[in-house]
A and B are shown apart, each in its own frame.
Chain A
């Protein structure tokens, strides 16, 4: 089975987010970049499926040269080859177009992504790629089994989950508990150095949205600590006026 996994290169979840250049750029100083946590679930499930079906995994990122260590990490976790489409990811549509252009003639059986990127949290790219390639797209997927040429999956819905059956090929936006995050071992790290990482120039595509500037939320006031529940109820009633 040929699997494509699309990964983001994003600030670690514990990062302090700040902006520079008059609030027009993310301040990358001191920020540690990781594979997006949801993309990490997608990759982990791909590695398991590859073991079950003797498949092949291509991992793809739309990004500039700085994302290559993240792609190498994905190779160390178990992807067979990496592709970087050499462009700053301008917006979800731009990224989706690049992914679709790349995938359209490669006959992937399965395209796995994260449920959402943790920088822009759109949750959009999988649906867009699905529509561009004329494939079904499901997200957020919490369980994914492949039986023959069929996928059996469960998708989280509000208050529960639903079960879906769909023929390959399709696209899934993944989230836990689809698989456990995999940590690269020494052998993986060594072999990642020699696995192919190709760089492809982007197709010319206009973005449809643009960030004019960033802004931080207002600072939170200090907590009001109380000694007993009566004082708390009083605050909820008379200060917050919510009881």
Chain B
């Protein structure tokens, strides 16, 4: 019945969504028993492990192979499969992400496991193993049963509280050999915004739309985002027009976010945009058109000119601190 959690790191730090996955696994272990084993790959800062213990891990395994710092899909899947067997796990838990998905799919085949993605809660074990997942990009849910002995759950962000009161867990360094054939797809380089809050991980997101008229007006979005310690997002036309990089594009065909607070500035609220933000806890809309569809999906709204409202909002938030 033991559980294995695969955690992801970003520049040596364990991702918040992965700590959430560990806490989810701890919740699962309370329901069905079994230890929570955690596997981290690549270079991870030593102090980071305390958080993993706090989140509810009973045992931690680490493969420090530097080739695993990057998300080499085949190599990660291979390493996880080996550790899954080693610890005698029957359930693999991981955070949904672009790497997590790619790895989980390959593992479903390797482990003969039933895989459910976009999981939004702990399973109901009263009649088999039934877990709720989000479908139709957040427009609905499906109660899904897994019929295989081995199971994989890819957990959506912000659906389970992150525990901090777990005990200390011992870190065991594993000396597993990941064979060369897992590196046939060579990562030759990367472009990554340094020091920015990752959009899919962010707790607060400030997004701007085409109503902002041009990239030169993004200063005020940046300042508002900074004041809220938020990640920046945008609508699809904004990234299509090249005003902002593609990885900031939120929605059906972009990043799906699940922050506590989503602030939408001069975005109309087309259904495809809403599909990427409907998992947000609170939505604030700033738009000069009172009939903008986004207001129907919002918790709070201001009908007004973004060029007037946003700087004032930034000031007011800064004044609080």
Chain B interface extent, by class: 35 or more
Complex partner residue of A211 from B73, B142, B199, CB under 8 angstroms: B142
Q: Report the bound CA distance from A212 to B135 in whole Å.
A: 14
**A196 CB–B CB distance under 8 Å:** no
Chain A residues near B252: list those with CB within 8 A. Answer: 13, 37, 118
Please report the C-alpha to C-alpha distance between residue A32 and residue B10 in the assembled complex, in whole angstroms.
41
- Chain A, 85-126, contact with B by CB distance < 8 Å: what is the 0/1 string? 000000111001000000000000000000010111111111
Interface centre among A163, A212, A226, A230 (most CB of B within 10 A): A212
CA distance A139 to B284 in the complex (A): 32
- Give the chain A neighbours of B246 by CB distance below 8 A: 142, 156, 161, 176-177
Residue in A closest to B310 when the chains form the complex, CB atoms: A229
Residue pairs across A and B with CB atoms within 8 Å: the count is: 260
Chain A, interface size category, equals 35 or more
- Chain A residues touching B, majority SS: mixed
Given the interface pairs A120-B135, A210-B144, A215-B143, the reply to whether A158 lies near B285 with Cβ below 8 Å is: no
B295 within 8 A of partner (CB): yes
Contact status B108-A124, CB under 8 Å = yes
Interface check B307, CB cutoff 8 A: no
Nearest opposing residue in chain B for A128, CB measure: B105
Contact A119 B192 (CB under 8 A): no
Q: Are B295 and A229 in contact (CB under 8 A)?
A: no
Interface of B is mostly: mixed
Closest Cβ of chain B to A145, distance in Å, is: 13
Q: Which residues of B contact A29 (CB under 8 A)?
A: none
Residue interface bits B277-321, CB-to-A below 8 A is 1, else 0: 010011011000000000111111111000001001101110010
Residue from B105, B143, B261, B313 within 8 A of A131 (CB atoms): B105
Spot the interface stretch: B36-44, B60-68, B164-172, B179-187.
B179-187
> Any chain B CB within 8 A of the CB of A55?
no
Complex Cα distance, B123 from A148, in Å, reads: 48
Q: Mark B97-123, 1 if CB is under 8 A from A, else 0.
A: 111011111101110011111100000
| A172 CB to nearest chain B CB (Å) | 10
Can you show 19 pairs from A to B with CB atoms below 8 A apart?
A119-B136, A124-B108, A128-B108, A128-B109, A136-B74, A137-B105, A138-B73, A156-B98, A157-B190, A158-B97, A159-B192, A166-B186, A167-B184, A215-B142, A216-B139, A223-B295, A233-B316, A240-B299, A243-B320
Which residue numbers of B lie inside 8 Å of A, CB to CB?
10, 70-71, 73-74, 77, 97-99, 101-106, 108-110, 113-118, 130, 132, 134-148, 184-193, 196, 198-201, 204, 240, 245-247, 252-253, 260-261, 271-272, 275, 278, 281-282, 284-285, 295-303, 309, 312-313, 315-317, 320
A-B contacts besides A121-B118, A139-B102, A209-B146, 12 pairs, CB < 8 Å: A17-B139, A91-B114, A93-B114, A122-B117, A138-B73, A156-B247, A160-B190, A208-B146, A217-B278, A223-B296, A226-B301, A232-B313
